[in-house]
Chains A and B, each alone.
Chain A
Amino acid sequence: MRKLADLPIRTKLTLITLLTSTIALLLASVIILAYDNYAYRERKAGEISAQARILAARMIASLEFNDPQSAQEYLEPLAANPEITAAAVYKPNGSLFAGYTRPGSPSPPASGEHLVQHFEKNQFIALEPVQQGQRQVGNVYLRATTEPLLMRISRYGGIILLVTIPSLLLTLPIAMRLHYAIANPVYARSLIEASLDPLVTISPEGIITDVNEATIKATGLSRESLIGTDFSNYFTEPEKARASYQEVFAQGFVTDYPLTIRHVNGTLTDVLYNASLYKDENFTVLGVFAAARDVTAQNKAQEEIRNRTNELQIANRELEAFSYSVSHDLRAPLRAIDGFSQALAEDYADKLDDHGKSYLNRIRLATQRMGHLIDDMLTLSRVTRSEMDHEKVDLGTLAAEVFEELQRSEPGRQVKYRIGPDLVATGDTRLLRQVLVNLLGNAWKYTAKQPHPRIEFDVSRNNGTQEFFVRDNGVGFDMAYAEKLFGPFQRLHSAAEFPGNGVGLATVQRIIHRHGGETRGMGTPGQGATFYFTLPS
């Protein structure tokens, strides 16, 4: 059921009108009925009492001469009045002297004692003393029916209905028409007041002529104290506020005009004003209608983003400087260690035994390993920092180039390789090449001990995503360590077994993640490994 509160205001107004008119009509009817009832009874009592007095006057002689016959004769004509149902004359001692009863009605009481004039249900009992001078010689009793109240009420009810229904029917269309006229502005006004945006109308002189609730909230001032004052007073930059409505008068509107409202408590609200002219039906400009949108939160968020971006840029620049320094300064000492070890081995060969020479050799191997490690770390960090292109990349062609390079680096090795057709993805060519260098390089490396090495590069397509994979039949790995595969500096083989520093797959993962893809590896010890990566097609 719809609640009363949910009804449209227009319906509510109509209901109220109908209800009040009905109540008014009913109330009036009840009052009239009550008064009429009272008046009717008064009149009846008057009439019957008068008749009783007339009778009493006539009964004097009959009672004085103890002539019930003549009394009876006086009573008989009462039959002409249908209202009178019974009449009696009593002697002063209360004994019945003469009586009359309308056929079908109860007889008058047998004793005239203890009778009082009063209204009973639907009847009036009148009592009148019969007096001769100062002496009471008897009593007259008259009983008259009164019209039953219920009947009168129902008759009145009929009249009320007869009046009410047509008048309501007449009221309804008038009310509805009136309420449309009343409710429309009320409805529009409610909308204006409900707006969370401060709304204001300004006269051509810049004086506020109307405001809504949101304006009151934003300024902290009452409607009365705002209306009639200068619009520009309530901004941190009054000149700019003045310029804004002057611009509206000049060009008809302003859009997203930035201003700051100052609350009386000092709170500032950043707003964007949209304002336009409003005119009467003759197109005479009456003023400016201005709506402000609170953008404090947005501005704050933007400021936050700016700050964070700034911090990030600073951090990035520091990282940049750091890796630049690493690439320059960390390598120079290594070169010196390697170079002078070599010089020592050459120039002092006669002073060193084989042990000494082998130590020098170890020093040189270690420095070179560290050189590679630095290079790989720099590659890894550069992968995250470098700018990225988004272009169509033919991974098949790239893979073929990488295989050629691998073959050139170890011409003696016989590796069977297969590259699938249509291996096209979107991404950064240089970075994706790095992925293939690492994955195919790994496959090349880990099949070194396999008599019939096979490497495959292809794609599997599933539900619109394509998953590329590099499969080899090399040493493989234990899936128990699969989680460690892509972590930097994580290795599943010793450097003596297979050279490497554990940066390759970490680099692959970073590149694929930057492209919005995923990586995974599957392997079986002794049977080979497959590395998968997805890329947006």
Chain B
Amino acid sequence: MNARTILLVEDNPDDEELTLRALSKNNIANKVTVARDGQQALDYFFDDSASSRPIPSIVLLDLKLPKINGLEVLRRLRADPRTALQPVVILTSSKEEQDIITGYRLGSNSYIRKPVNFDQFVEAIRELGLYWLVLNEPPHR
């Protein structure tokens, strides 16, 4: 494994736990930072001490979030030159067509629906991790 980090934007503690479990089951030991609402996610990039934080290789973004919803978080990330190229994967419960289309229109790099079946979820996280943390070359330094 490498020093690449993950920002998990997730308000549901169950989903947080299961995602972390799925990552560890796949032996993905990269550092994971969890933002529990949309504001926290934006603060990670834009607050005063943002420059001291590592730039994540991937943001796993849930859509239904307290305060600022996922699509709005995505819109603001894309609107700011510092994060315009930040790889973001929408990882959410629904596959509402409108969400998928809006997600891509706002510049999401991928859209993954969390399967109910945990085995399938683990498999999805494995492929995600492999792709974004190993295969993919991030745009920044």
Instruction: Report which A residues bind B (CB closer than 8 A).
Output: 324, 327-329, 331-336, 338-343, 364, 367-368, 370-371, 382, 386
Contacts and interface: CB of A to CB of B under 8 A. Distances in A.
Interface stretch (B10-18, B51-59, B80-88, B126-134): B10-18
Contact of A328 (B18, B92, B117, B121): B92
Given A339-B118, A339-B121, A342-B118, A332 B15 contact: yes
A332 B117 contact: no
Interface residues of B, number: 21
A339 B12 contact: no
B31 interface: no
A336 B18 contact: yes
Contacts of B63: 328
Given A336-B15, A340-B14, A331 B96 contact: no
15 contacts: A324-B96, A327-B96, A331-B93, A335-B115, A336-B14, A336-B18, A339-B14, A339-B21, A339-B121, A340-B14, A340-B18, A342-B118, A368-B117, A371-B116, A382-B97
A338 B122 CA distance: 12
B94 interface: yes
Contacts of B14: 332-333, 335-336, 339-340
Nearest to B12: A332
Contacts of B92: 328
Contacts of A324: 94, 96
Interface string B1-39: 000000000001011011001000000000000000000
Contact of A335 (B18, B95, B96): B18
Contacts of B114: 331, 335
A429 to B, nearest CB: 14
Contacts of B95: 327
Nearest to B15: A332
Nearest to B119: A342
A334 B64 contact: no
Contacts of B17: 339
Contact of B93 (A332, A338, A370): A332
Nearest to B19: A339
Interface in B100-136: 114-119, 121
B18 A327 contact: no
B21 A329 contact: no
Contacts of A382: 97
Nearest to B117: A368
Nearest to A345: B118
A375 to B, nearest CB: 8
Contact of B116 (A329, A340, A343, A367): A367
Contacts of A367: 116
B94 A339 contact: no
Given A327-B93, A327-B95, A338 B64 contact: no
B94 A335 contact: no
Contact of A327 (B94, B117, B119, B121): B94
Contact of B18 (A339, A368, A370, A371): A339
Contacts of A333: 14
8 closest A-B pairs by CB: A371-B116, A336-B14, A327-B94, A339-B18, A339-B118, A342-B118, A331-B93, A328-B93
A166 B129 CA distance: 121
Most buried by A among B17, B18, B92, B97: B18
B15 to A, nearest CB: 6
A310 to B, nearest CB: 22
Given A339-B14, A343-B21, A331 B117 contact: no
